[in-house]
Amino acid sequence: MDHTSPIMHTAADLAEDTRDGGTVIRLSGSLAIACLRDLPNRLDAVQGPVQAIDLSEVGHMDTIGAWTVHRTARRLGCDISGGSEDARRLIEAVGELDEPVPIRPDKVHPVSRVVGQIGEAVTTAGSTLVGLVGFFGSTLVASWNIIRHPRRFRLNAVVQRFEVVGVSALGIIGLMSFLIGIVIAQQGSVQLRQFGMEMLTINLVGRLTFRELGVLMTAIMVAGRSGSAFAAQLGTMKLTEEVDAMRTIGVSPMEALVLPRTLAVVVMMPLLGFYSSIVAVIGGGFLCAVALDIPPITFVQRLREVVPITDLWVGLIKAPVFGIIIALSGCFQGMQVKANAEEVGLRTTAAVVQAIFLVIVIDAFFAVFFTWVGWT
């Protein structure tokens, strides 16, 4: 048996009454979207002056009906009387949202717009840097907690990240490094041939790859692969409230998600950097043998003479620092996802850009520092 009130299915209707020298629009029936029919058009046809809109005979009203009544009352400049308490609250809620939205934004002078964008970028960069420092502090606190309670260390997660960050990247890093070694040797030999010093190509390839390009290009590649993956993974988990669920059951996201990824990148970066340098040297030796007729034995002997061991230490010292920057940037941006799926993509892009930028900045500081201490 249907116990629904018949008035909830009654078609909406209006009548105009004249009282005390003013016109009152009396609405009746159901002001739901299914029962409005031509009522909005009939209300639009009403011309003022109108004293009030009477809702005492209205049995049911939804948002569309409330918007219709509010719009008519605003247009005619009249009051709304009668009606239930729920109907009045609904009309008030609709009225609070009735704000004009500009179709076109206000025109801003180009200089003001550029200055504003620069200021916004500086503010965003400053807040991001502060947040990144705070995130680094949280990572140190989580590391200290793991040291105090070794049973909470997730070895399986770290080993799995070793494979994702390191083993899976061997192919692409090896190919990139081999081609970079060829390019360095080819471009260097072309310039040095003008002075009859093709043998110095070995110096160029050896010192440049071990000291700078091997680790730097590896860091850029790892930032593009692993940094973006970290941001996307943690951002998706944050969006689906998995991170909040972990906190609810007493699992620290920093210990379970951030630390394994950070530790994996820090450990794998020196290994990948050394691997990249060796492959780049092989690429340079290959071109020297093909284009400059320098035998591999001569290439290796000359390489041992001109490349100091400090160049290797420089690369191995920089690699873990680059790893920390890449891991923290990816995890930090991933944990900042809040609103929607679009922000996952934006944060992933921000993680890669931030990591590469900070890696290059830190590399510049390292170059000055190692020159200052005499490792040239």
Least confidently predicted of 107-111, 129-133, 213-217, 265-269: 107-111
- Do 182 and 287 meet the contact criterion of CB atoms below 8 Å apart? yes
- Do 308 and 250 meet the contact criterion of CB atoms below 8 Å apart? no
In the chain, what percentage of residues exceed pLDDT 90?
54
Every domain of the chain and the residues it spans: 6-96, 133-372
Average of per-residue pLDDT across 186-215: 90
Q: What angle do CA 63, 67, 73 make, to 5 degrees?
A: 145
Q: What is the pLDDT of residues 218-251, one digit of tens each?
A: 999 999 999 999 999 999 999 888 999 999 998 8
| 3 state SS of 109 | coil
**HSE toward the beta carbon, residue 122, CA cutoff 13 A:** 6
What is 6-96's CATH number? 3.30.750.24
Q: How far apart are CA 120 and CA 371, in angstroms?
A: 36
Q: How far apart are CA 256 and CA 246, in angstroms?
A: 9
Q: How far apart are CA 215 and CA 204, in angstroms?
A: 16
Instruction: Identify the helix (H) or strand (E) that includes residue 107.
Output: none
Q: Phi then psi for 39, rounded to 5 degrees?
A: -60, -45
Q: What is the pLDDT of residues 154-174, one digit of tens each?
A: 999 999 999 999 999 999 999
